[in-house]
Amino acid sequence: MNATPPIPPSLSSASRAPVAVWPWPMALGLLTVFGLLSALLGQHGVWLALSWITLSVPLVVTLACLIRAWRRAPSVKGGPS
């Protein structure tokens, strides 16, 4: 059984407003594609550095999200799943 009480759809819609889903994934995807291509097409110097920086962004974002979740960790853990 799932520990979360089933929330009626109407209630959950009211409590949490819809958010824009795609800006972050799109931005990270575009940065990744740019990073992959800049090293391939640019080959050296600034293009390589740009590739390393842009490809690091998704990893840095992940780390930031994980750290944020850790900091906000509740003292009491959620019920067992």
Partner 1 sequence: MTTTTLRRWFVVHKWTSLICTLFLLVVCVTGLPMLFSEQIWDTFVGDDDPPYEVLPPGTPNTSFDIMVAKARAMFPGQIVTSVNPDDDEPAVLVSMAPSWQALKDDEKYPDRNSGHWIKFDARTAKVLKQSPLPDAPKKPRTWTGIILGTATRLHMNLFAGLPGALFMGVMGALFVASLVSGTVLYGRYMKRLSFGTLRRDRAVRLTWLDLHNLLGTVTLAWALVVGFTGFVNELQTPLFGLWRITDVRQILKPYVGLPEVSQANLSSVQAAFDTAAKAAPGNEVTGLSYPGAPFGSPVHYVLWTHGATPLRGRLFTPVLVDARTGALTGAYPMPWYLRFLEISRPLHFGDYGGLPLKLLWALLDMVVIAVLVSGVVLWAGKRRIATDVRLRALGFDLENVPTPGEAMQ
First to last CA, the chain: 7
Tokens standing for 74?
């509740």
Question: What is the per-residue binding string for partner 1 in 24-53, x denoting contact by CB under 8 A?
Answer: xx--xxx-xx--x--xxx-x----x--xx-
11 binds partner 1 (CB under 8 A): no
Minimum Å gap between C-beta 63 and partner 1 is 10
CA distance 65 to 4: 23
DSSP 79: P
CA distance 39 to 50: 8
Judged by the rule CB under 8 A, the positions of this chain that interact with partner 1 are: 2-4, 6-7, 9, 12-13, 16-19, 21-25, 28-30, 32-33, 36, 39-41, 43, 48, 51-52, 55-56, 58-59, 61-62, 64-66, 68-69, 72-74, 76-81
